Structure 1
Amino acid sequence: MSSSPGPGSPVPLTPSLQRLFSHVRVENLIAGLSGGVLSTLALHPLDLVKIRFAVSDGLDVRPKYSGIVHCMKSIWHQEGFRGLYQGVTPNIWGAGASWGLYFFFYNAIKGYNKETRQIELTATEHLLSAAVAGAMTLCLTNPIWVTKTRLVLQYSADPSQKQYKGMMDALVKIYRHEGISGLYRGFVPGLFGTSHGALQFMAYEELKRDYNKYRKKQSDAKLNPLEYITMAALSKIFAVATTYPYQVVRARLQDQHNTYNGLTDVVWRTWRNEGLLGFYKGMVPNLVRVTPACCITFVVYENVSRVLLDQNK
């Protein structure tokens, strides 16, 4: 007669969960976090510029910029070097956590699916694995992205006139005045945004696999840094061109200078006032930023994860 586990006994895992957890690797988390932090530190000013262009809807409170260089010069003259790194703390936390968790979840899900099917995954299966990993990551990191957006959209050079003093101050004030819903502003378009990461990872995996087939090597064979950069850049450009409008909608929902009645209201007002181009504001500085950022992240990830995993074999 089998006995049920007592109150203090661990709940036994099903065979499916055991197989899933067998593919969990903290090395993937560390490698993804490392890549996200390094790329963010290098390219945060371009992220700031992208967000300021994305929310440029004509409100008087917003500075007017004629282009990327003019925007960066204006911020430099008004606020100095520190102004270009406004919001960098939550960006580092957000990018590090997001990339780390994304690679952590994605590789576990991909490994589980690959073991279950006993064959190479298709493009659709890579897409679904990345989408699930993205949704899980967003559930944990959305509050950080809200604080980053709020900090980046503080336009005054005078600290005494700024609404938020830093990341923790922003988190506390948003929670106090807007509740949990305030910390999860932009979550719905963010979920749509998981398609961005899913498309990027699908393209990245397919490019690597096809290239290794061309070289007559295993699909997961190691590439050199230039090859990783090429695969990462091509997959990122493809994903950005396909999904960019959600980032504009998300930034506007998180913006403290304007109020919208939800996702539909943002889409309708942007379309009515700015037309189709309104959904692509900030895309050029975004491409200038995310393409090298993605290359840095993937090169660091691939090399750090391979070193860590080889050490623990």
Structure 2
Amino acid sequence: MAFSVDSRRSLIPTFVYSSTSLSASLVQSDPLPASRSISPPLLSLTEKKKNTSFVIPSPSEPSKIAMYSPAYYATCTVGGMLATGPTHMAVTPLDVVKCNMQIDPAKYKSISSGFGVLLKEQGAKGLFKGWAPTLLGYSAQGACKYGFYEFFKKYYSDIAGPEYAAKYKTLIYLAGSASAEVIADVALCPFEAVKVRVQTQPGFARGLSDGLPKIVKSEGALGLYKGLVPLWGRQIPYTMMKFASFETIVEYLYKYAIPTPKDQCSMPFQIGVSFFGGYIAGIFCAGVSHPADNLVSFLNNSRGATVGDAVKKMGLWGLCTRGLPLRIVMVGSLTGAQWGLYDAIKVFAGLPTTGGAPPPPPATVPAEM
């Protein structure tokens, strides 16, 4: 049995197709002479369909995430998690050598000898000890760090107002990143405690699954957080430097070094700028946070030790320099990769990359006399 076009279309719910296609089919099925036009009642009908019909978007249409919406913050949270956890896990061998150089410098005298000692005594597997708490801990930290940074940056900017937010933007970056890191370190601290002991105490545990309950059994749940204050001391200055210097470096790059405005640069180019700016920011981060990093390693490795014990044993110079060259390489690479990945994820979701010249403050309108 033959079906007409209209009879076949009547089998499909009308909300699937738009009023544009409906009016087109009407014109095709009942063509009008060139001298005639669609009557007003028919125009009203098609306009009503256009306003009330539910049109299924084409799969090729990109999804649009509104800035500062819950979906925006969720995207930034996921981006921070994916950018931070896997990158930290990738440099686990460097982290293992760095922690052992901090704890036992007589045995692990340099980067090359540290790798040699670990390979000789523990094999290649020894270089990846603690990868599980590293992955999970820094994934949780990164999710909180980037997600809450975007939230607090907007929150403090709204409090300051457009004019003062533009004028004191660096203070906004510092306050937002510090607030975010306070929360992020609470998520990281238990995993960091297990990671340091697994990496620096041979035979303590194989990894997270047996190391975590072992600490809880011997020291209680609070034993997982005894390094929280030194962790704040390490991570808060680190993160403040990481975000504020990155935002400033990227802004200066687009302002003074790159002749093309940011919004006219390709997305791959913008992601490359994010990586470069992140690497430079990471060098500053390593220097600012390194003394506290030595404290975290010392306290998590020595039961009952205090900050005074660490200073007495390592000295101020040792706190500031022991393991620093390796940490500069590690943190610079990490920070560059994290900003590059984070902005790549934002671009994939249809969001702009981080940093760049801020919009000018609104012009003040002179009051009428």
TM exceeding 0.5: yes
Match of residue 240, structure 1, among 283, 286, 290: 286
Q: CA deviation at 1:216?
A: 6.9
Match of residue 209, structure 2, among 151, 159, 168: 168
Match of residue 129, structure 1, among 176, 194, 199: 176
Aligned counterparts, 1:174-253, within 5 A: 174-193=215-234, 194-214=236-256, 215=259, 217=261, 223-253=269-299
Measured on the aligned residues, the alpha-carbon RMSD in Å equals 2.6
Q: Which residue of 1 aligns with 2:311?
A: 267
Farther-moved stretch of structure 1 (275-284 vs 38-47): 275-284
Matched, 1:149 2:196: yes
User: Following the alignment from structure 2 to structure 1, what is the Cα–Cα distance between the partners of residues 69 and 275?
Assistant: 30
Q: How many pairs are equivalent?
A: 277
Q: CA deviation at 1:86?
A: 0.5
Q: Which residue of 1 aligns with 2:156?
A: 113
Tell me if structure 2 keeps the 8 A contact 1:46–1:288. no
Q: CA deviation at 1:79?
A: 2.1
Q: CA deviation at 1:266?
A: 2.1
- Encode CA deviations 1:187-213: one digit per residue, 9 max, x unaligned: 111111211111111100111222233
Tell me if structure 2 keeps the 8 A contact 1:50–1:282. yes
SS at match of 1:301: helix
Letter in 2 for 1:48: V
Q: CA deviation at 1:21?
A: 7.7
Farther-moved stretch of structure 1 (209-218 vs 27-36): 209-218
Q: CA deviation at 1:310?
A: 4.3
Q: Which residue of 1 aligns with 2:358?
A: none
Q: CA deviation at 1:267?
A: 2.3
Q: CA deviation at 1:306?
A: 2.4
Letter in 2 for 1:81: A
Letter in 2 for 1:85: F
Q: Which residue of 2 aligns with 1:30?
A: 78
Q: CA deviation at 1:218?
A: 6.1
TM-score of the aligned structures, taking structure 1 as reference length: 0.80
Letter in 2 for 1:79: Q
**C-alpha distance 142-251 of structure 1, shift in aligned 2 (>3 A):** same
**C-alpha distance 114-307 of structure 1, shift in aligned 2 (>3 A):** farther
Tell me if structure 2 keeps the 8 A contact 1:24–1:104. no
Structure with higher Rg: it is 2
**C-alpha distance 21-224 of structure 1, shift in aligned 2 (>3 A):** closer
- Encode CA deviations 1:58-87: one digit per residue, 9 max, x unaligned: 5xxxxx123212211222232222111001
Letter in 1 for 2:329: V
Question: Structure 2 unaligned runs (5+)?
Answer: 1-67, 353-369
- Encode CA deviations 1:76-125: one digit per residue, 9 max, x unaligned: 23222211100111011112221221001101111222334224352122
- Encode CA deviations 1:140-171: one digit per residue, 9 max, x unaligned: 2200100010111133xxxxxx2213202111
Tell me if structure 1 keeps the 8 A contact 2:80–2:146. yes
Matched, 1:281 2:328: no
Match of residue 55, structure 1, among 82, 103, 110: 103
User: Following the alignment from structure 2 to structure 1, what is the Cα–Cα distance between the partners of residues 348 and 169?
Assistant: 27
User: Following the alignment from structure 2 to structure 1, what is the Cα–Cα distance between the partners of residues 105 and 127?
Assistant: 21
TM-score of the aligned structures, taking structure 2 as reference length: 0.69
Letter in 2 for 1:196: Y
SS at match of 1:206: helix
Letter in 2 for 1:138: D
Tell me if structure 2 keeps the 8 A contact 1:270–1:279. no
Q: Which residue of 2 aligns with 1:69?
A: 112
**C-alpha distance 241-195 of structure 1, shift in aligned 2 (>3 A):** same
Q: CA deviation at 1:184?
A: 0.7
Matched, 1:80 2:127: no
Q: CA deviation at 1:57?
A: 5.8
Give identity over the alignment, percent. Answer: 20
User: Following the alignment from structure 2 to structure 1, what is the Cα–Cα distance between the partners of residues 116 and 206?
Assistant: 23
Q: Which residue of 2 aligns with 1:305?
A: 346
Letter in 1 for 2:87: S
**C-alpha distance 21-302 of structure 1, shift in aligned 2 (>3 A):** closer
